[in-house]
């Protein structure tokens, strides 16, 4: 056996064997083992920042080139520079910036991919979800549950621009994507504006169980007008060394995450806060709701300001510094990893 290994023709025999394996749709595990079960995650994605200052003019240029209706969704995809051509911001999340100009409508459709919106700029945009409208104001976190009809519009005087995050790569991984167009441009509205927020979002709940959107929170707008004071008030109760003041968007029916495939939370760091290093197996998409700061992630340092969007790779040490009172929107696949028993994190003291 050992003699045959040292045989000069061994390399050639092995290559020949591999070639014959390939013709029978077989492969030698021992050549692939390291890549298949790595000792720890080795993210292919890179940290990246899209500054609002550079995104906005490109959005407005897109606005002059085609209508929202023509485009169906007028979106510039935020593509991770290390994952070119894949329409991915992280390995598992799609992200894009959507523009609706005054008077425009993005026609009604639905898909099994779940979407969230974090509003960057708006003076009268709305979205309609499952027969109910909600106004989209800057800083609002808005959910489009899987398979819910949705159309967007803008009845204001200025452009409406928001961050879209969708679970497109997750749904693609399990190959369960469906979509269809509505017969009408805009769905008919069956309930008063913000009905869901009043029914499910005050700490009170309907006496008879109803889950209008299945695994997704029945609240589909978590308005900035409530989120900001909640975070600011929570800061008085203490700032965690690793998380700062972090509150997650919860599903009021079960206390879980608001969405079944995308975990979302808000982090507030009072001016001058420096967080201690933490790393976790989920990669994060962040949007700056308010303030300025910087993040050091691995050996990359990113400086950010209002409405900038950034992505941080999984399993890479990160720490934040707030140069001003800082409010961050964050999204990751943590909820998927938790359901599969995979989510891990580590903290440095």
How far is Cα 31 from Cα 15, in angstroms, rounded to an integer? Answer: 12
Q: How far is the CB of 288 from ligand GTQ (least distance, A)?
A: 19
How far is Cα 159 from Cα 174, in angstroms, rounded to an integer? Answer: 36
- Binding ligand GTQ (rule: CB under 6 A), the pick from 59, 75, 89, 330 is 75
Pair type for strands 278-280 and 179-181: unpaired
Query: Does 90 help bind ligand GTQ (rule: CB under 6 A)?
Result: no
Q: Hey, which residues between 163 and 222 contact ligand GTQ (CB under 6 A)?
A: 164, 166
What would the 3-class secondary structure string for the chain be? CHHHHHCCCHHHHHHHHHHHHHHCCCCCHHHCHHHHCCCCCCCCCCCEEECHHHHHHHHHHHHHHCCHHHHCCCEEECCCCCCCCCCCCCCCCEEEEEEECCCCEEEEEEECCCEEEEEEECCCEEEEECCEEEEECCCCEEEECCCCCEEEEECCCCCEEEEEEECHHHHHHCCCCCEEECCCCCCCCCCCCCHHHHHHCCCCCCCCCCCCCCCCCCCCEECHHHHHHHHHHHHCCCCECCCEEEEECECCCCCCECCCCCEEEEEEECCCCECCCEEECCCEEEEEEECCEEEEECCEEEEECCCCEEEECCCCCEEEEECCCEEEEEEECHHHHHHCCCCCEEECC
Of 48 and 74, the one with the shorter C-beta distance to ligand GTQ is: 74
Q: How far is the CB of 84 from ligand GTQ (least distance, A)?
A: 18
Q: How far is the CB of 221 from ligand GTQ (least distance, A)?
A: 15
Interface characters, 112-131, with ligand GTQ (x: CB under 6 A): ---x----------------
- Binding ligand GTQ (rule: CB under 6 A), the pick from 80, 91, 92, 98 is 98
Of 48 and 150, the one with the shorter C-beta distance to ligand GTQ is: 150
Of 111 and 249, the one with the shorter C-beta distance to ligand GTQ is: 111
Query: Does 73 help bind ligand GTQ (rule: CB under 6 A)?
Result: yes
Q: How far is the CB of 262 from ligand GTQ (least distance, A)?
A: 13
Of 75 and 161, the one with the shorter C-beta distance to ligand GTQ is: 75
Number of residues that bind ligand GTQ (CB under 6 A): 9
How far is Cα 228 from Cα 322, in angstroms, rounded to an integer? Answer: 16
Q: How far is the CB of 4 from ligand GTQ (least distance, A)?
A: 57
Of 111 and 268, the one with the shorter C-beta distance to ligand GTQ is: 111
Q: How far is the CB of 115 from ligand GTQ (least distance, A)?
A: 5
Q: How far is the CB of 213 from ligand GTQ (least distance, A)?
A: 15
| Cα 155 to chain centroid, rounded | 26
Interface characters, 133-172, with ligand GTQ (x: CB under 6 A): -----------------x-------------x-x------
Q: Hey, which residues between 16 and 45 contact ligand GTQ (CB under 6 A)?
A: none
Q: How far is the CB of 152 from ligand GTQ (least distance, A)?
A: 6
Contact 163, 309 (CB under 8 A): yes
Considering only CA atoms, which of 36, 94, 41 is closest in space to residue 343?
41
Q: How far is the CB of 66 from ligand GTQ (least distance, A)?
A: 15
Tell me which residue has its CB nearest to ligand GTQ.
164
Q: Hey, which residues between 312 and 341 contact ligand GTQ (CB under 6 A)?
A: none
Q: How far is the CB of 149 from ligand GTQ (least distance, A)?
A: 10
Query: Does 96 help bind ligand GTQ (rule: CB under 6 A)?
Result: yes
Of 112 and 202, the one with the shorter C-beta distance to ligand GTQ is: 112
Binding site for ligand GTQ (CB under 6 A): 73, 75, 96, 98, 111, 115, 150, 164, 166
């Amino acid at each position: 056996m050992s003699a045959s290994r040292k045989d000069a023709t061994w390399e050639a025999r092995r290559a020949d064997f591999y070639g014959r394996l390939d013709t029978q749709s077989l492969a030698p595990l021992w050549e692939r083992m390291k890549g298949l079960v790595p000792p720890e995650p080795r993210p292919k994605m890179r940290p990246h920042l899209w500054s609002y200052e550079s995104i906005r003019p490109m959005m407005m240029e897109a606005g002059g080139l085609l209508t929202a209706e023509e485009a169906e969704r007028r979106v510039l995809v935020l593509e991770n520079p290390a994952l070119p051509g894949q329409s991915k911001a992280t390995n598992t999340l799609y992200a894009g910036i959507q523009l609706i100009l005054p008077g425009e409508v993005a026609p009604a459709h639905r898909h099994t991919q779940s979407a969230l919106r974090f509003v960057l700029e708006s003076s009268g945009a709305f979205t309609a979800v499952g027969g109910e409208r909600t106004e989209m104001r800057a800083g609002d976190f808005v959910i489009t549950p899987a398979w819910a009809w949705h159309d967007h519009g803008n009845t204001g005087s200025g452009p409406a621009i928001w961050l879209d995050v969708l679970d497109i790569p997750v749904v693609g991984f399990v190959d369960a994507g469906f979509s269809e167009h509505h017969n009408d441009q805009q769905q008919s509205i069956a309930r008063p504006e913000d009905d869901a927020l009043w029914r499910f979002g005050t700490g009170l709940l309907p006496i008879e169980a109803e889950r209008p959107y299945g695994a997704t929170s029945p609240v589909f707008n978590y308005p900035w007008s409530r989120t900001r004071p909640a975070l600011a008030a929570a800061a008085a109760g203490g700032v965690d060394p690793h998380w700062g003041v972090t509150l997650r968007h919860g599903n009021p029916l079960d206390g879980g995450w608001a969405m079944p495939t995308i975990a979302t939370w808000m982090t507030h760091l009072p001016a001058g806060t420096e967080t201690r290093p933490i790393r976790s197996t989920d990669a994060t998409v962040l949007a700056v709701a308010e303030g300025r700061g910087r993040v050091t992630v691995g050996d990359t340092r990113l400086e950010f300001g209002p409405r900038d969007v950034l992505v941080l790779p999984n399993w890479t040490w990160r720490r934040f510094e707030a140069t001003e009172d800082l409010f961050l929107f964050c999204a990751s696949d943590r909820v998927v990893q938790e359901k599969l028993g995979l989510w891990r994190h580590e903290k440095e003291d």
